[in-house]
Chains A and B, each alone.
Chain A
Amino acid sequence: MLACLCTVLWHLPAVPALNRTGDPGPGPSIQKTYDLTRYLEHQLRSLAGTYLNYLGPPFNEPDFNPPRLGAETLPRATVNLEVWRSLNDKLRLTQNYEAYSHLLCYLRGLNRQAATAELRRSLAHFCTSLQGLLGSIAGVMAALGSPLPQPLPGTEPTWAPGPAHSDFLQKMDDFWLLKELQTWLWRSAKDFNRLKKKIQPPAAAVTLHLEAHGF
């Protein structure tokens, strides 16, 4: 027994998972991405308030809850809980990445329309931040070894004001964009929290493995 334990200890340096001096793994970048989603969520709250005020009533009324009309092109964040649970890491990340790619495009369109300089600045900052989030997600995906989804053809915002849209409907689209963004950020926070918990305990796993070896 003792000899076995000694042998295990002797070979301990050879256990690759214990030599954590090198690449810290995806853990920190997932944590960062999680923090970023929380931060963006917070940022969006104030931005949306300003923007909805800019849109004016009824969009800035707290109980305004219009049907989702004309916003079909927006990626939906809401998903069945079971479906969400059954997603694997790769799929989860891919969905996030694609969603934010789309949302960012739309948001840039919004930016162009925005009226006040202050609002434009806020939107520009938010866009940069969202760009950062996309980069972060890409980084996590790279760290986990999943390929980046191919950039969609025609990534330029197709949501430019067209003749088909009335002013009200366009505002409605803006409203839904912000709302969907908010939901996506909530979901991403959940996604990354889940991923974080899944990735974090590798040290414990190594310990268990060793015990199994030793006894």
Chain B
Amino acid sequence: ELLHSCGHINPPSAVVQCGSNFTAVCVVKEECMDFFHVNANYIYWKTSHFTIPKEQYTIINKTASSVTFTNIGLLNTHLTCNVLTFGQIEQNVYGITIISGFPPEKPKNLDCIVDEGKKMLCHWDPGRETHLETNFTLKSEWATEKFADCKPKHDAPSSCVLDYTIVYFVNIEVWVEAENALGKTKSDHINFDPVDKVKPSAPRNLSVSNSEELSSILKLAWSNPYFKTVARLKYNIQYRTKDASVWSQIPCEDTASTRSSFTVQDLKPFTEYVFRIRCIKADGKGYWSDWSQEASGITYEDRPSKTPSFWYKIEPSHVHAYRSVLLIWKTLPPFKANGKILDFEVTLTRWKSSQLQNYTVNDTKLRVNLTNDRYIATLTARNLVGRSDASVLTIPAFDFQGNLTESKCYLITVTPVYADGPGSSESIKAYLKQAPPSKGPTVRTKKVGKNEAVLEWDQLPVDVQNGFIRNYTIFYRTNVGNETAVNVDSSHTEYTLSSLTSDTLYMVRMAAYTDEGGKDGPEFTFTTPKFAQGEIEAIVVPVCLAFLLTTLLGVLFCFNKRDLIKKHIWPNVPDPSKSHIAQWSPHTPPRHNFSSKNQMYSDGNFTDVSVVEIEANVKKSFPDDLKSLDLFKKEKPSTEGHSSGIGGSSCMSSSRPSISSSDETESAQNTSSTIQYSTVVHSGYRHQVPSVQVFSRSESTQPLLDSEERPEDLQLVDHNADDILPRQQYFKQNCSQQETNPDISHFEQSKQVSSVNEEDFVRLQQQQISNHISQSCGSGQMKMFQEVSAADAFGSGTEGQIERFQTVGMEAAIDEGTPKSYLPQTVRQGGYMPQ
């Protein structure tokens, strides 16, 4: 053989990453070359037994040749460098091993689990297969301390059991490092408290016990794992019946706290159940324990929940009047028996008698000899706890077929019999032959309206129906009219007749029809009312309201237009009897005494004014006038009609209305009340015939006469006052000089008043009144009072009135430029006029 080492390959060994390129160089010793008379061209490469194509070779120099692999796949092979000696003999020069693979991937999904009572196991996903020997190291540390590395066992390279006993409640940091020939990497660190990674031991000693009191419960008890002392637990409890394969689970919220027993409810009686339980830390961190060993228990018995299926067979008997009846039934299935059935009890009762026959049977059939009568048979099943409900069966009488009668309602019930017992029965009503009803329905009214009536009736009793009632017919007519018929479905018991005439007598009757005919019931009469309910009220109330409204409007209108009305209805006829003839009074001082303002103010006293008092006469003779004064009177009861009547509006009498009428005034009146003149007025005015005679009688300087004789004066005055001007002038001539002063003062006052409120105004007026009471000219006072009353009567209108009042007064003053300026004010106020 040749020399052992004729050359070598560089690198001497190779771990190559898949997908990369790799080049190996074979250097042959020169002496070998010479010996074999070869050069580098004779070098060829082989992997295992395959020669590598020449294209991959590179001749470096005389003794060296290289081979290049590109994009190396997965391989684990020998690469040899060979020399072809003597043209045909293969001579192996050197060989190396090439292994390809991958560097380790970063381990993922590192997690740990603490099996209770064991050490902590951590596992991870090592990632892609490296095809190389890869070492994993599990590292762990506390914040203050490092623990020994954990090396996985060879058979489980991606998990490791830490060899120290884990300490709960101290956070630990864990990670994995992976290393192979191609590289080194490490996983993410995980930091956790081992107590959150615990898989507790399964609960032990699970036991099941039943309760004699309740057949639907089973009590479970178990021993908790030791982990209970470390943390609180919660549980899963599952159960199934013995034969079932699917587990039911008790709601988790019922088992969410540490416990060692549990009562399972809503179970079926006398049924065997299988239970199992597992636990986990109560906050759900960690792992569920394994299931405990299964334990089973049987719920206690309950009384049978269903009656047995029950039927009979009648067999002919040789004995006359008796028959042999075989009663048969089935055993109850376990889920209905609810326990072990001890026996069955059969009771036979003859129809309409109290004769009882009791049998207790262990079998599921019973043969009895019965008479041909009808029998009622009952069957109950009994177990340890109690009896089932009774199953009732009617054994019909022997002669059942013959006795059906016509026009009688029969209820026919058919009960199917299946293999496992009777099914649900169906019933139907039937007649052998129908007939018309033997009685008709009795109809009556439920409610009668003006144009309609609600009729009602009762269903016919079954005894008189004689068939199926198909429909009803209602006949109704008035005393004279034709009969009307209405068909009504048989399901109704009520019908509304409409389009009736009001206040009419109706006769109504009803007939019921079967398939075979009908029968009328008794006739019923009723009268429709004349008016519908509420109709009268609907008419009367609006009429009353309208009337009231009209009246009210009328009154308001009259009140507003009282001036106009007064003018048309009671025109102010000058009353000669009211004429004041100052000169008549022997005590009256000359009129011109009052024409001076200064004198008036300085005196402050009117004791010298002569007043003509005519109260008694006026009162008696003019009752109508009094009425029209009502409003005025209300405001100043103290006037007592002294100013009533046309004459009362005179400036003389107006001194009376003053609230604080003074004694002086009284005395003044008294002194002047004795004038004869009154009698003249009485007769004159009453008949509204101010005759020439009257004038002739008072041949004095009556202003009234003046004014009537001078109608052209009217044109001069403001049109507002045109109709009353005569009296103005009359006043003027009588007491214009007297009035001047009070009126001016009043005018001034009005200016003030316009800026104050109503009450102030009234008060001021009153003060004014009392201030000037003794010196007041009659109409001046009167005017003020009327202002007060107007303020009361029209409220806020007062100020407006006052303003107008002022304006009028001013205009008048401009027009006249004389003491007459007072006149328009009086006119506006209507102080005396509207009376």
Which listed residue, B142, B143, B165, B230, touches A39 by the CB 8 Å rule? B230
Please name all residues of chain A whose beta carbon is closer than 8 Å to the beta carbon of B1 when the two chains form the complex. Answer: none
Asked if B406 is at the interface (CB within 8 A of a chain A CB), the reply is no
Which stretch (A64-72, A127-135, A167-175, A182-190) binds chain B? A127-135
Closest Cβ of chain A to B672, distance in Å, is 80
Q: How far is the CA of A139 from the CA of B169 in the complex (A)?
A: 12
Establish whether residues B165 and A125, one from each chain, have CB atoms under 8 Å apart when the complex forms: yes
A111 CB to closest chain B CB (Å) equals: 14
The residue among B169, B171, B195 with the most chain A CB atoms within 10 A of its own CB is B169
Is A193 interfacial (CB-CB < 8 Å)?
A: no
Contact pattern, A 120-144, Cβ under 8 Å of B = 1, otherwise 0: 0100110011011111101100000
- CB within 8 A of B167: which of A33, A42, A129, A138? A129
Smallest CB gap from B169: residue in A? A36
**Would you call A102 an interface residue if the criterion is a C-beta within 8 Å of the partner chain's C-beta atoms?**
no
Q: Are A131 and B145 in contact (CB under 8 A)?
A: yes
Contact residue among A36, A124, A135 (Cβ-Cβ distance under 8 Å from B168): A36
Please name the 8 residue pairs, one residue from A and one from B, whose CB atoms are nearest each other, closest first.
A132-B170, A36-B169, A135-B144, A132-B167, A125-B165, A129-B167, A35-B169, A32-B169
Q: Does B193 contact A (CB under 8 A)?
A: yes
Q: Is B142 within 8 A of A132, CB to CB?
A: yes
Q: List 6 A-B contacts (CB under 8 A).
A: A39-B168, A39-B169, A121-B165, A128-B165, A129-B170, A138-B144
- Chain B 211-235: CB-based contact to A (< 8 A → 1; otherwise 0): 0000000000000000001100000
Contacting residues of chain B (171-225) with chain A, CB-CB under 8 angstroms = 171, 193, 195
With a cutoff of 8 Å between Cβ atoms, the chain B residues found around residue A39 in the complex are 168-169, 230
- Verify A135–B142 contact, CB threshold 8 A: yes
What's the Cα separation between A101 and B799 when bound, in Å? 105
Interface set, chain A 184-208, CB cutoff 8 A to B: none
A44 to B547, CA, bound (A): 108
Q: CA separation between A36 and B195, bound complex, in Å?
A: 10
With A32-B169, A42-B230, A135-B145 given, name 4 new contacts (CB 8 A): A39-B230, A125-B167, A132-B167, A136-B170
Question: Do A134 and B167 have beta carbons less than 8 Å apart?
Answer: no
- CB 8 Å contact bits of A29-65 with B (1 = contact, 0 = none): 0001101100100100000000000000000000000
Tell me the bound Cα distance from A138 to B171 in angstroms. 13
A132 contacts which chain B residues (CB < 8 A)? 142, 167, 169-170
Say yes or no for B164: interface residue by CB 8 A criterion: yes
Looking at chain B, what size class is its interface with the partner chain? 10 to 19
CB distance from A138 to the nearest CB of B (A): 6
Q: A134-B144, A135-B143 are in contact. Are A128 and B164 (CB under 8 A)?
A: yes
Chain A residues near B168 (CB, 8 Å)?
Answer: 35-36, 39
Q: Which of A90-129 contact B (CB under 8 A)?
A: 121, 124-125, 128-129
CA distance A136 to B144 in the complex (A): 9
In the assembly, what is the distance between CA of A121 and CA of B119, in Å? 13
Contacts of A33 in B (CB 8 A): 169
CA gap between A124 and B193 in the complex, in Å: 20
Write the chain A residue with the least CB distance to B231. Answer: A35
**A33–B171 CA distance with the chains assembled, in angstroms:** 10
Bound-complex Cα distance A131 to B172 (A): 13
> Cβ of B144: which chain A residues have Cβ within 8 Å of it?
131, 134-135, 138
Chain A residues near B (Cβ < 8 Å): 32-33, 35-36, 39, 42, 121, 124-125, 128-129, 131-136, 138-139
Cα-based distance from A32 to B170 in the complex (angstroms): 7
Q: Residues of B contacting A136 with CB < 8 Å? A: 169-170
What separation, in Å, do the CA atoms of A98 and B729 have in the docked complex? 128
Which residues on A sit within 8 Å (CB–CB) of B229?
Answer: 42
Most buried by B among A35, A121, A129, A132: A132
User: Chain A's nearest CB lies how many Å from the CB of B813?
Assistant: 65
Tell me the complex Cα distance, A121–B117, Å.
Answer: 13
Q: Which residues of A contact B170 (CB under 8 A)?
A: 32, 36, 129, 132-133, 135-136
Choice from A32, A125, A128, A131 contacting B171 with Cβ under 8 Å: A32
Chain B residues with CB below 8 A from A42, complex form: 229-230
A77 to B165, CA, bound (A): 28
Smallest Cβ-Cβ distance to B194: which chain A residue:
A132
Complex interface: chain B residues within 8 A of A138 (CB): 143-144
Most buried by A among B143, B165, B167: B167
* Contact A32–B193 (Cβ < 8 Å): yes
Chain B residues in 8 Å Cβ range of A131? 142, 144-145, 167
Q: Which residues of A contact B145 (CB under 8 A)?
A: 131, 135
The smallest C-beta distance from B79 to any residue of chain A, in angstroms, reads 52
**A128, B169: Cβ atoms under 8 Å?**
no
Task: State the CA gap A138–B164 with chains docked (Å).
Answer: 22
Q: B171 to chain A: closest CB distance in Å?
A: 7
Chain A residues whose C-beta falls within 8 Å of the C-beta of B167 in the assembled complex: 36, 125, 128-129, 131-132
Residues of A within 8 A of B169 (CB): 32-33, 35-36, 39, 132, 136
- B53-84 CB contacts (< 8 Å) to partner A: none
Query: Considering the chains assembled together, what is the distance between the CA atoms of A138 and B145 in angstroms?
Result: 12
Residues of B within 8 A of A128 (CB): 164-165, 167
Shortest CB-to-CB span from A9 to chain B, Å, is 33
Check if B165 sits within 8 Å of A139, measured CB to CB.
Answer: no
Could you tell me the distance in whole angstroms from the C-beta of A36 to the nearest C-beta in chain B?
A: 4
Chain A residue contacts of B165, Cβ below 8 A: 121, 124-125, 128
Docked complex Cα distance between A133 and B171 (Å): 11
Q: Which of B559-618 contact A (CB under 8 A)?
A: none
Tell me the bound Cα distance from A27 to B171 in angstroms: 14
Question: Could you give, for residues 132-176 of chain B, a 1 whenever the CB lies within 8 Å of some chain A CB and a 0 otherwise?
Answer: 000000000011110000000000000000001101111100000
Complex CA distance for A42 and B195, rounded to whole angstroms: 15
**For residue A129, which residues in chain B have a CB less than 8 angstroms away from its CB?**
167, 170
Name the distance in Å between B154's Cβ and chain A's nearest Cβ: 26
- Bound CA–CA A33/B195 (angstroms): 13
- How far, in whole Å, are A136 and B171 apart by their CA atoms in the complex? 9
CB nearest neighbor in A for B230:
A39
- Find chain A residues with CB under 8 A from B164 CB: 125, 128
When chains A and B are docked, how far (Å) is the Cα of A54 from the Cα of B326? 84
Tell me the complex Cα distance, A132–B164, Å.
Answer: 13
B539 to chain A, nearest CB (A): 59
What CA separation (Å) do A58 and B423 show in the bound complex? 83
CA distance in complex: A208, B649 (Å): 85
Residues of B near A124 (CB, < 8 A) are 165
| Residues of chain B with a CB closer than 8 A to A134's CB | 144
- Name the distance in Å between B338's Cβ and chain A's nearest Cβ: 48
Kindly provide the distance from the CB of A20 to the nearest chain B CB, expressed in whole angstroms: 20
Assembly CA distance A143 to B642 (angstroms): 110
* A131 smallest CB distance to B (angstroms): 6
The smallest beta-carbon distance between B146 and chain A, in angstroms, is 12
The closest CB in chain B to the CB of A142 belongs to B143
Chain B contacts of A125 at CB under 8 A? 164-165, 167
Which residues of the other chain, B, contact A133 by a CB distance below 8 angstroms?
Answer: 170
Scoring B164, B170, B229 by chain A CB atoms within 10 A of each residue's CB, the highest score goes to B170
Question: Nearest A residue to B195 by beta-carbon distance?
Answer: A35
**In the assembly, what is the distance between CA of A128 and CA of B144, in Å?**
12
Report how far A131 CA is from B778 CA in the complex, Å.
Answer: 124
Q: Which residues of chain B are near A121, meaning CB under 8 Å?
A: 165
- In whole angstroms, what is the CA distance A103 to B430 when docked? 102
Nearest CB on A from B196, distance (A): 11
Q: Which residues of B contact A135 (CB under 8 A)?
A: 142-145, 170
Roughly how many angstroms separate A129 CA and B167 CA in the complex, as a whole number? Answer: 5
How far apart sit A138 and B144, CA to CA, in the bound complex (Å)? 9
Once bound together, how far apart are the Cα atoms of A163 and B164, in whole Å? Answer: 34
* Shortest distance from the beta carbon of A141 to any chain B beta carbon, whole Å: 12
Bound CA span A133–B167, Å: 9
A139 touches B193 (CB 8 A): no
Q: In whole angstroms, how far apart are the Cα atoms of A139 and B170 in the complex?
A: 10
A190 CA to B766 CA in the complex, in Å? 95
The residue of chain B having its C-beta at the shortest distance from the C-beta of A32 within the complex is B169
Minimal beta-carbon separation of A118 from chain B (angstroms): 12
- Rounded to whole Å, the gap between the CB of A32 and the closest CB of chain B is 5
Minimum C-beta distance from A98 to chain B (A): 15
Shortest distance from the beta carbon of B169 to any chain A beta carbon, whole Å? 4
- In the complex, how many angstroms separate the beta carbon of B725 from the nearest chain A beta carbon? 72
